[in-house]
């Protein structure tokens, strides 16, 4: 069966079991408008999502946040300063009522523990396109400060920093345990290599992968629904934001991330969060 047919089947099965919370986080993992799944080599790996990863301890990922709408996890985010967080614009577009958005930090368990912070302002990149998913970045200001056990900001990649293909990176989050499954309770993480722009564009098309994006994954390792907006890191620096990719989450097609070091993205973060 072609990948596109598998995707249709997965959506039909998933929608039959999904509740309102699942509808929220599954809706965030999608392709840019007009893009269809290419045929990809099969993979036999299909372990827990984050695909192919391991259960993580928040003490090792103190910047990781759960972005929540009306109390339900919808996306990931990261602490970048005392009162600002970073996430993906597609997680907060169209802008929900700010009173409905909170961030849970300091807990491995996405459902309990840690500290829940009320968001005071949602700022999406002014050039964000919900069709192409270009400029897929937002900053969130909270009403207080990010204070608590196992809560700390992550350093952002400097503007213009380039990372070569093959660089090992880490992506973390509470993404779905399968393309049609639910979210894990505890934080997951997986190491994935960066993929060259040329190779990524060869799969998804030159127009779909802009200079504001970077790509990473390998067969059996990927982000999935519920990981959107979460951090992609290298050596203690955040270099990417989970943006888009195959809804099948098998890792045999590149996962695409907003590039934190892209001048237009880094300037937006600096101008709005002073980071």
Catalytic residue set: 90, 136, 228
Is 185 in a helix, a strand, or coil? coil
CB 184 within 8 A of CB 174: yes
Q: How many whole angstroms separate alpha carbon 117 and alpha carbon 50?
A: 24
CB 106 within 8 A of CB 58: yes
- Among 246, 21, 254, 243, smallest CA distance to 130 is for 243
Residues in the chain: 275
Tokens of 111: 């459902």
Q: How many whole angstroms separate alpha carbon 222 and alpha carbon 173?
A: 11
């Amino acid at each position: 069966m072609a990948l596109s047919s598998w995707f249709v089947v997965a959506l039909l099965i998933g929608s039959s079991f999904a509740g309102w919370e699942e509808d929220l986080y599954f809706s965030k993992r999608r392709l840019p408008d007009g893009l269809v799944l290419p045929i990809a080599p099969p993979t036999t790996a299909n372990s827990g999502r984050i695909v192919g990863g391991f259960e993580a301890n928040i003490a090792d990922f103190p910047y990781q946040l759960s972005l929540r709408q009306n109390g339900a996890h919808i996306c990931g985010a990261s602490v970048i300063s005392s009162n600002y967080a970073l996430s993906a614009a597609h997680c907060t577009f169209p802008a929900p009522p700010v009173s409905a958005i909170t961030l849970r930090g300091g807990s491995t368990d996405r459902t309990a523990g840690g500290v829940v912070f009320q968001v005071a302002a949602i700022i999406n990149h002014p050039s964000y396109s919900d069709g192409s998913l270009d400029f897929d970045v937002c900053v969130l200001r909270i009403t207080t400060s990010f204070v608590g056990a196992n809560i700390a900001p992550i350093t952002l990649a400097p503007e213009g920093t380039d990372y070569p293909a093959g660089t090992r990176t880490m992506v973390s989050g509470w993404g779905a345990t399968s393309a049609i499954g639910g979210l894990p309770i505890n934080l997951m993480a997986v190491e994935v290599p960066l993929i060259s722009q040329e190779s990524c564009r060869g799969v998804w098309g030159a127009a779909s992968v802009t200079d504001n994006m970077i790509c990473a994954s390998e067969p059996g390792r990927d982000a999935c629904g519920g990981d959107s907006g979460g951090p992609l890191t290298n050596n203690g620096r955040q270099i990417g934001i989970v943006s888009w990719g195959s809804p099948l989450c098998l890792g045999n097609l590149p996962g695409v991330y907003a590039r934190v070091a892209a001048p237009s993205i880094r300037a937006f973060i600096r101008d709005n969060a002073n980071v």
